[in-house]
Chain A
Amino acid sequence: MRDRLLTAVATYVVKRPWWTVLWILCITIVLGYMMGRLFQAGVSTEYADMMPQDDPSIIEFNTIMEEYNATSTLYMVAEGDDQALRAFADEVIPQIEDMEQYVTDVIYQAPRDFIAEHALMLMKTSDLENSRTLFEDPNLVGFLTNLNDSFEKEYIQSEEKISNLEQEQGAVRFLDGIQTWVDEFDNALEGQVEDAGAAASEAILFGSGYNQSWDRRMMIFKVMTTFTIYDLGPMIDCPNAIDAIILPAAEKHGVDAGLTGSIILGRDKMEAISTDMIVITLLAIVGVLILFMVAFRMIVAPFLAIITLIFGVVWAMGLAWPLVGQLNILTAMMGAMLVGLGIDFSIHIIAVYTEWRARGEDVLTAMTGAMTRSGKGIITGAFTTAIAFMTLIFGKTDGMRQFGLVLGVGLLLTMVATLSILPTLLVLRERFWERIRKEAKPKLPRDISYRFLGSSAQWLSQRWIFSLVAVVIVVGFFAYRGFQLEMDYDSRNLLPKGLKSLELQDKMIEAFDMDPDNAMLTATSLEEAYTLTEATKDASTVGVVSSIVDLLPPKGEQEQRKALVADVRRTMARAQISPTITRADLDRLKAEVERLEDNVMEIQSMAFIGGQDKVYLKAGLLVGVVPDEEDPSMVALHERLNPNMPDITQGTLSALRERLNSDGIRSLSNVSRFHRDFAAAFKPAVVGMANTETLTVESLPPEIRDQYVGKSGQHFLIYVFARENIWNRQNMARLVNEMQKVSPRATGMPIIYHALLRGITADGRLAMQIALGLIFLLLLADFKNVWKALLAIVPLIFGVLLMLGVMHLSGMMLTLVGFYAVPIIIGIGIDDGVHIIHRYNVEGSRKHTAVFSSTGRAILLTSLTTMLAFGSLWFARFSGLSDLGIVLLIGVGACFVATVLVIPVLAGLGHGIADRRGGAAPETSEE
């Protein structure tokens, strides 16, 4: 049937080429329009899009996207000198806040007004009891005495205070307040008394005003957006608009600033993929064209093959639009992949057509011969490959399903394009030459066969015992190494290389211990939010939990605190502010400053022993460090202080103590002024904070509600930041495990990515099993012989094992994207065997030289073109695709090597067995 169909197509094309052209153009116009629509839809770069939409983590993720206003966040990161950073922030924040189309809010500090009114109600009862003396005396000496008492009491009461990440951050923030207090006091002693006392009070009670790193050389700002990661347009336009504001301002103030976070990484991925999609496809086309020309020593035919391919790719992309609607990270590269796969069809047709024309056959005969001899192999090969791809449809991850569907259908369309367009073009070329060179003798194509492939196949077949042992040993070795291949779980390794957003993200993680790729939990009531928050904080993998609970304590606890808060309010309201500082007060002040220095030193020592580097360094800014030139790790640690401290042994608090001692009585006037201003600001601020009003969801400021409370007011969001780098496989698995124990509704990037990895791994295995089964059945139907079907499939299995072994030997790991290479290789690798077995059918089972000289050449060239096309992915900016290209390059090469080594050996084995059994008389050997 296939013969009849192929003969009919060949005849129709040769006799009515212009009608064929008309049909082709009509189809191309329709599918070209559909391809345009596909491009308009853009490329989705979200991993969530690749997951099954009915997965609990995706359902929850999508619910969060709809329910909460502020789940999509950009992070603006700026580095530089403290003063320059503040000037930069003051300039850009109002401008970004004005971008109402994209931005709901810019968050760069805790909600000051809310804290000013409710701070004491937000403190844990035990903390409030421990530190209430801090809020009893607004006078400078009294405050400092109470601060030291509180410090020592706190320290004695709970050594655990700085024992984990959240507490480490709290300690750094507290020390930061002390640092500002010291700086302002020093300014006052310097004579710059204006506002110094008030600023010192503000720093102690509210912090520095910005979200800064421990050394104040980095600031981060959260830009809450009006759109989600699914809105591709704003995802590009908004960051670009913000960049237009911050980049000139950064240059003006001498700071380095940029954007990061999931949205920015998504934008960068999309831009890289959009460029890659075009560049890589063109690179593949040009590379394949050059190889074709060199291998066939032809000029026009390769161009015709490429034109055919371009039509095929347009058809495939056009049909992809109704099938998937939008391309993803992987399907975006279907153009380059179809070039690599589709060119093979043309090679087989041109190879036979040129052979027959070289023998002097006319166009119709040669075309019919090419179509029937190569066509069957092409159809079988295309279907086996397409089946291998389409088995991915049985997977659970949408990414795998879409990839399989689009590539499988696309390949079949490319085959149809090749069987219809290429013969048409070849015929038109003949007619064209006939018209312009009527007088000249037409130049007939040359026959080019690779005898070395045929000879080596013959040699292997004759020495099959030795060859079989050698092949088993080699493949066994590679298989052993291949099974040790590990998965790379770090999704950041898939991103384009050299991204500034990624560099900023890494710096942000280091400076703030905060990875924007956080997990999320939702609660359907405040009570559940409290329970989940507590359970999450107990999890060993969790560093920081950000929850409504921090700003909205349970009512019972609020009631408990009210009496204490009211007491603090009464005490502070009654407190008298001394109008001046006496000499005796000054002596007490000096003693308390010295005591404060001791306290900070002790905290520093405990932090050092406890491995809390940021607390150690932050304390170092205040009290200096003990230098250690012998220990390189200590030298490296202390070097981090250099940008802030000319002398690392002398901190600002130590300098203040010395200054107070050396200035003596001369400083009394400035100290008095500082004292009055401090007390005058501190007293009303504390009274304001000691507000016993019961806190409710309604009393929260809008920017807080947007972050934590759903639009309905009935859902509450909890953000969970991991303690360790989640892109480490074990860390990610442990975090996901713990989060899912806390709540089966846990979601967020780590959860989704982990599920995606598991899904893809499971899908890949399932697809591999189904594909191998279906391919074997298809081969059985095609060859009607079990031995031949096995002969065709074994090189594929050996090729995959070789590929995995080579990957392990070269130090590669299997990435999420690289995993897609396995079904692709199964689809492609089978073709080599199919073509060889088909040729054996035509030539005879012992004609190794003839088969491998001719078809061996064809599969060498098809392998090389496929390797070239896939290898062009190597140049992709998107590292995941680059890795995929390398894996495919190795895989296709391995399948070719396995085919030319294994089939002759197995054929020799088959003959050897048949000969010993005294079966059918052996066919005549060629040599």
Chain B
Amino acid sequence: MKFNLGLKRPFIIYLAALLVPINWLPAQQPTGQEILDRINEITNVTNSSSVMTQTIKTSSGQLRTFELESYSANKGEKTLMRYRKPSSVKGQAFLMLNHADDIWTYFPRTKRVRKLASHAKKQSAQGSDFTYEDMGGGDTWKEEFEPTNLGEVELEGQSCWKLQLDGIPEKEPPYPKMTIIVRQEDYHPLQVDYYSDREDVMKSLYMGDIQEVDGIPTAMKLTMRNHDKATETKMEVLSITYDWEPPKGFFSERNLKK
């Protein structure tokens, strides 16, 4: 009598399958929430101090490059940016508190500090294609969006996850939808697409030259391209450290004037 398992293929094949090491199997796909948590860990570092350049296109069609120092604390809740070059705006500074809900600016020529209106948060930050809100950081993405992992994609030869963030209407998100492509290697975003109301990609943020700084992967080059206006703003990090503690009163109107 034949031993019949009711199988058409040899038993050995099934046995071999059971013996395959577990790490040979495809990686389990993380959930959207897990990816977003990992992104937040990387991009929302507690404190940072950096020097960077920002290049914009003026209304005359010329490129204008600024050099500025930027300080951030409490996972982006507080930010201070101060211009170093060119001379026309040297010393001009912006202080953003409460994730850019409150913005002050200091003018060195008049030595006056002025507060910008609360709705300025959604407006272009200093002539760039970023809004103050884009720079605000924090848990905005986690709080105002519903994440979904759209699966594995490849970008610039790197295996990535594509994450879709759908805005939660009652939270009044800055964009109705976003997609983020993150490296599987370290969950650092490589590309963020911001959607307009029309469901079209309004602008995209491209992050490149990712280097390890103080143990944290950091994009040294960022380009925000506005597809509607055909403009782009480039930012390049010249130096950065996360090993920085803000002195007491650093994020204050008084320090803004220094």
Contacts and interface: CB of A to CB of B under 8 A. Distances in A.
The size class of the interface chain A forms with chain B is 35 or more
A608 interface: yes
B87 A628 contact: yes
Contacts of B87: 626-628, 630-631, 634
Contact of B88 (A158, A605, A724): A605
Contact of A628 (B58, B86, B110, B112): B86
Interface stretch (A60-68, A437-445, A610-618): A610-618
B115 interface: yes
Nearest to A634: B86
Which of B88, B123, B230 is most buried by chain A, counting CB atoms within 10 A of its CB? B88
B107 A605 contact: yes
Nearest to A636: B62
Interface in A550-608: 598, 601-602, 605-606, 608
Interface in B57-115: 57-60, 62-64, 66, 83, 85-90, 92, 105, 107, 109-110, 112, 114-115
A519 B171 CA distance: 39
A724 B127 contact: no
Given A540-B228, A605-B89, A156 B109 contact: no
Interface stretch (A132-140, A160-168, A678-686, A856-864): A160-168
Given A155-B114, A601-B110, A608 B230 contact: no
A628 B114 CA distance: 25
Given A159-B117, A598-B110, A602-B110, A611 B56 contact: yes
B9 interface: no
B62 to A, nearest CB: 6
Main secondary structure of the interface of A (DSSP, over half): helix
B109 A605 contact: yes
Interface residues of B, number: 36
A156 B127 contact: no
A22 interface: no
Nearest to B87: A628
A156 B124 CA distance: 15
A614 B60 CA distance: 8
Nearest to A613: B60
Main secondary structure of the interface of B (DSSP, over half): mixed
Which of A608, A633, A634, A734 is most buried by chain B, counting CB atoms within 10 A of its CB? A608
B127 A626 contact: no
Contacts of B127: 609-612
Contact of B114 (A540, A602, A614, A730): A602
A276 interface: no
Nearest to B122: A160
B120 interface: yes
Contact of B230 (A157, A633, A734): A734
Interface in A159-183: 159-160, 163, 165, 168
A613 B83 CA distance: 18
Given A601-B109, A634-B87, A724 B92 contact: no
B110 A159 contact: no
A625 interface: yes
A202 interface: no
B126 interface: yes
B8 interface: no
B59 A612 contact: yes
B103 to A, nearest CB: 9
Contacts of B59: 165, 168, 513, 611-614
B88 A628 contact: yes
A157 B117 contact: yes
B126 A609 contact: yes
A602 B88 contact: no
Contacts of B120: 159-160
Contacts of A626: 87-88, 90, 109
B116 interface: yes
Interface in A499-550: 510, 513, 540-541
A731 interface: yes
A514 to B, nearest CB: 13
Nearest to B62: A633
B62 A598 contact: no
Nearest to B226: A540
Nearest to A600: B110
Nearest to B64: A611
Nearest to A597: B110
B89 A730 contact: no
B254 interface: no
Contacts of A540: 226, 228-229
A673 interface: no
A723 interface: yes
Interface in B5-63: 56-60, 62-63
A633 B88 contact: no
Which of A158, A611, A634, A723 is most buried by chain B, counting CB atoms within 10 A of its CB? A611
Contacts of B66: 609
Contacts of A541: 228-229
A634 B126 CA distance: 18
A733 to B, nearest CB: 10
A609 B92 CA distance: 10
Contacts of A610: 124, 126-127
Interface in B203-245: 226, 228-230
A163 B126 contact: no
B249 to A, nearest CB: 24
Contacts of A608: 88-89
Contacts of B63: 633
B58 A612 contact: yes
B102 to A, nearest CB: 12
Which of A159, A541, A610, A634 is most buried by chain B, counting CB atoms within 10 A of its CB? A159
B74 to A, nearest CB: 25
Interface in A626-644: 626-628, 630-631, 633-634, 637
A163 B226 CA distance: 15
Interface in B113-161: 114-117, 119-120, 123-124, 126-127
A157 B123 CA distance: 13
Contact of B86 (A165, A168, A598, A631): A631
Contacts of A513: 59
Which of B57, B58, B105 is most buried by chain A, counting CB atoms within 10 A of its CB? B58
B112 A602 contact: yes
Interface string A715-729: 000000001100000
A610 B85 CA distance: 14
Contacts of B56: 611
A260 to B, nearest CB: 20
A606 B228 CA distance: 23
Contacts of A601: 107, 109-110
Contacts of A628: 86-88
B230 A730 contact: yes
Contacts of B58: 611-613
Contacts of B109: 601-602, 605, 626
Nearest to A616: B88
Contacts of A631: 85-87
Nearest to B56: A611
Contacts of A637: 62
B115 A633 contact: no
Nearest to A163: B124
Given A157-B117, A609-B126, A626-B109, A723 B62 contact: no
Interface of B: 56-60, 62-64, 66, 83, 85-90, 92, 105, 107, 109-110, 112, 114-117, 119-120, 123-124, 126-127, 226, 228-230
Given A610-B124, A730-B230, 12 more contacts: A159-B117, A159-B120, A540-B226, A540-B228, A609-B66, A609-B83, A610-B126, A625-B88, A627-B87, A631-B86, A634-B87, A724-B230
Across the A-B interface, the 4 shortest Cβ-Cβ residue pairs = A610-B127, A540-B228, A611-B58, A628-B87
24 contacts: A152-B114, A155-B114, A156-B114, A159-B117, A165-B59, A541-B229, A598-B107, A602-B107, A602-B112, A605-B107, A610-B124, A610-B126, A611-B59, A612-B127, A613-B62, A625-B88, A628-B86, A628-B87, A631-B85, A631-B86, A633-B64, A724-B230, A730-B230, A734-B230
